[in-house]
Structure 1
Amino acid sequence: MINKLKYHEIDFQKYSHCIENSVQKNFHARMEILDELCEKWELLIFEDYRFVMPVPIKEKFGFRFVVMPLFCQQLGIFGPEKNPVIEQKFLDYLQKHFRILTYSFNFQNSFDSKLKTKKNYWIQPTEYLQLRKHYFKGRKSTVKTAQYLHFKEFPLSQNIDFINNNFKGLDKKNDQEKFLRFLHFLDERKILRIFGSCKDSDLTNLAIVIEEETNFSLLGLINDERFRDDNGASFLIDRILKEHISEKSFSFMGGNIRGIEVFFKSFGSQLQEYAVIENSVKDLMAHFFKK
């Protein structure tokens, strides 16, 4: 039986134990990350926290909706094993009891119900020279021609202006401010790494990475368009992989836009598809008022 808990009802010790020991273990499902990114969140549980499912909530137009927060790619169901039967129970409960604008499960969840999927690309820990054999031919060539660039790691404080001037993908000023607050949040917890490529004294590209014990997750790849022809993004990803892929996996955190998908695939990464629910406010409200 699935039970729903309001935030103040959650036993966070049991919740954290479930997340940290789950086969689907996910950075974004940690309590402190959800607290930072979500306006509100609640929890679905099965058998006294044997399986759990965090549910981000946003209030809009006087109604409560499930909405995935910015900078959070996957949530879903977490437990000691993969269990499609139990996972389907969570899905059924979610769809019956919540108005869902957007919700992303994790790539290890599976269901009898047919859901839309999105793409992520991921590289498991491996020897760099073995991985390099799986680069696309054109990517190998691009990386080779960019070796005149310099690789450097930077503190966040040195890159605020570069990020503000060159970050693409967030149209609203409020969302850009949220992104910077999240970077400071990660930096304070010492899980933020910022790598850059430089041409002489000019910074050409930045890779913003979340570092965990066993993996890296790419939060942002920021490019100065004046240096597009220098292929700094290719150089930068290759150097990060060269220095770290033998010890940590690397998640590209996305891949649904064709050009970006090809870029991620070209480093020998593997496809991970994850199920999503997406509805428009208009459709949800039309359904609500028909009841």
Structure 2
Amino acid sequence: MIKRLKYHEINFEKYSHCLDFSEQKNWYAKKEVLDELSGNWELLICGDYEAVMPIHIKKKFGFNFVHMPLFCQQLGIFSKIDKPEINDQFLKFFKKKYKVFLYSFNHHNIFSENLNKRKNYIVPVSDYVILRRKKYFKGRKSTAKWAQHLFYKEIQLDNECFSFIESNFKGLDKKSDFEKLTKYLRFLEKKNSLKISGAYLENKLINLAILVSEPQQLSLLALFNDENFKNENGPSFLIDRILNLYIHEKRFNFMGSNIRGIELFFKSFGGELHDYCFTENKFLKIFS
């Protein structure tokens, strides 16, 4: 039986226990991360927290509707073993009780219903030499090799970093979105979960990769590029160097894209497809 809990009704000890022992472990479902990115979320549970489904609620013009928090790719259902019959119960209850603009499940969640899917690419823990030789696209090998004149450096969240992001960020339409990004980066820094990698041409920063660092995974939160140096192939250089340093111990999550050119870029490093289901109502877009 599925039950709906408001935030103040959630037993966070049981919730965290369910996440920790779930098949679908996910950074974005953690209480502290949802508190930071959402600020207004509630929970569906099955039984005594045998399975849980966190839901971000957005309020606009007096209406409450379900949306994905900014900078959050996947949420979904979490349990010891992913069971389609349980997932179907969650989905049925969810659609009945909520006005849903957009909700993304995680790539482990399987349903009887044929839901729309989005693409995500992950490079598993690998031997870098073998990964580069066998899984890189031929053109990516050449591009990464050509860009070796650049200098790689891991940097702190300082004024240079913020200035570069502000000058080169795309895809965030509102000033408030940039402020949310800044706040989230501070949060990641405080949690010791932020890694920032830069590509330099001589002493000039030309590309910046922002990563969420977990014990077993690096996730690409954002990639910022100075378009004046497009021909230097900084993005290829950065991703290749990060994989060289860390892929032997941590998988690399590209955090997905359905834009063809970006998708091919991710695949070209040996990224493996992990698509995930989502449900949306485009008629509610006016409230997003």
> What SS class does the counterpart of residue 108 from structure 2 fall into?
coil
Q: Given the alignment, which residue of 223, 240, 244 partners 2:225? A: 223
Alpha-carbon distance in structure 1 between the residues aligned to 2:201 and 2:81: 48
Counterpart contact for 1:88–1:112, Cα < 8 Å: yes
| Partner residue in 1 for 2:166 | 164
Q: CA RMSD in A?
A: 1.2
Alpha-carbon distance in structure 2 between the residues aligned to 1:148 and 1:66: 47
Alpha-carbon distance in structure 2 between the residues aligned to 1:11 and 1:215: 27
Q: Work out whether 1:186 is the aligned partner of 2:188.
A: yes
1:283 shift after superposition: 8.3
| Partner residue in 2 for 1:111 | 111
1:130 shift after superposition: 1.4
Alpha-carbon distance in structure 1 between the residues aligned to 2:73 and 2:30: 13
Amino acid at match of 2:156: P
Alpha-carbon distance in structure 2 between the residues aligned to 1:204 and 1:64: 42
Alpha-carbon distance in structure 2 between the residues aligned to 1:24 and 1:238: 27
Alpha-carbon distance in structure 2 between the residues aligned to 1:255 and 1:242: 23
% same residue: 54
1:280 shift after superposition: 2.4
Alpha-carbon distance in structure 1 between the residues aligned to 2:179 and 2:284: 28
- 1:256-280 Cα distance to aligned partner (Å, 9 max, x none): 1111001000001100110011112
Alpha-carbon distance in structure 1 between the residues aligned to 2:98 and 2:61: 15
Counterpart contact for 1:39–1:58, Cα < 8 Å: no
- 1:69-116 Cα distance to aligned partner (Å, 9 max, x none): 100000000000010000110001100100000000000001111111
Counterpart contact for 1:19–1:30, Cα < 8 Å: yes
Alpha-carbon distance in structure 2 between the residues aligned to 1:88 and 1:102: 17
Alpha-carbon distance in structure 1 between the residues aligned to 2:106 and 2:14: 20
Counterpart contact for 1:99–1:284, Cα < 8 Å: no
Alpha-carbon distance in structure 1 between the residues aligned to 2:189 and 2:250: 19
1:61 shift after superposition: 2.1
Q: Work out whether 1:92 is the aligned partner of 2:92.
A: yes
| Partner residue in 2 for 1:125 | 125
> What SS class does the counterpart of residue 92 from structure 1 fall into?
helix
| Partner residue in 2 for 1:153 | 154
Amino acid at match of 1:147: Q
Alpha-carbon distance in structure 2 between the residues aligned to 1:39 and 1:188: 18
Count how many residue pairs are aligned between Structure 1 and Structure 2. Answer: 285
The 1:162–1:283 alpha-carbon spacing in structure 2 relative to 1, beyond 3 Å, is: closer
| Partner residue in 2 for 1:289 | none
Alpha-carbon distance in structure 2 between the residues aligned to 1:131 and 1:14: 39
The 1:266–1:283 alpha-carbon spacing in structure 2 relative to 1, beyond 3 Å, is: closer
Amino acid at match of 2:142: S
In structure 2, stretches of 5+ residues that fail to align are none
| Partner residue in 2 for 1:233 | 235
Amino acid at match of 1:90: F
> What SS class does the counterpart of residue 256 from structure 2 fall into?
coil
Give the TM-score taking structure 1 as reference length.
0.96
> What SS class does the counterpart of residue 243 from structure 2 fall into?
helix
Bigger Cα displacement from structure 2, 100-109 vs 172-181: 172-181
Counterpart contact for 1:154–1:195, Cα < 8 Å: yes
1:39 shift after superposition: 3.6
Equivalent positions of 1:58-97 (< 5 A) are 58-97=58-97
The 1:58–1:121 alpha-carbon spacing in structure 2 relative to 1, beyond 3 Å, is: same
Counterpart contact for 1:118–1:276, Cα < 8 Å: yes
The 1:122–1:46 alpha-carbon spacing in structure 2 relative to 1, beyond 3 Å, is: same
> What SS class does the counterpart of residue 262 from structure 1 fall into?
helix
> What SS class does the counterpart of residue 146 from structure 1 fall into?
helix
In structure 1, stretches of 5+ residues that fail to align are 286-291
1:223 shift after superposition: 0.3
Alpha-carbon distance in structure 2 between the residues aligned to 1:26 and 1:69: 14
- 1:166-204 Cα distance to aligned partner (Å, 9 max, x none): 111111111111111101111111100000110101111
Alpha-carbon distance in structure 2 between the residues aligned to 1:161 and 1:44: 41
Deviant stretches of 4+, over 6 Å: none
Alpha-carbon distance in structure 1 between the residues aligned to 2:284 and 2:81: 37
Counterpart contact for 2:101–2:285, Cα < 8 Å: no
1:281 shift after superposition: 4.0
| Partner residue in 1 for 2:14 | 14
The 1:155–1:78 alpha-carbon spacing in structure 2 relative to 1, beyond 3 Å, is: same
Amino acid at match of 1:278: E
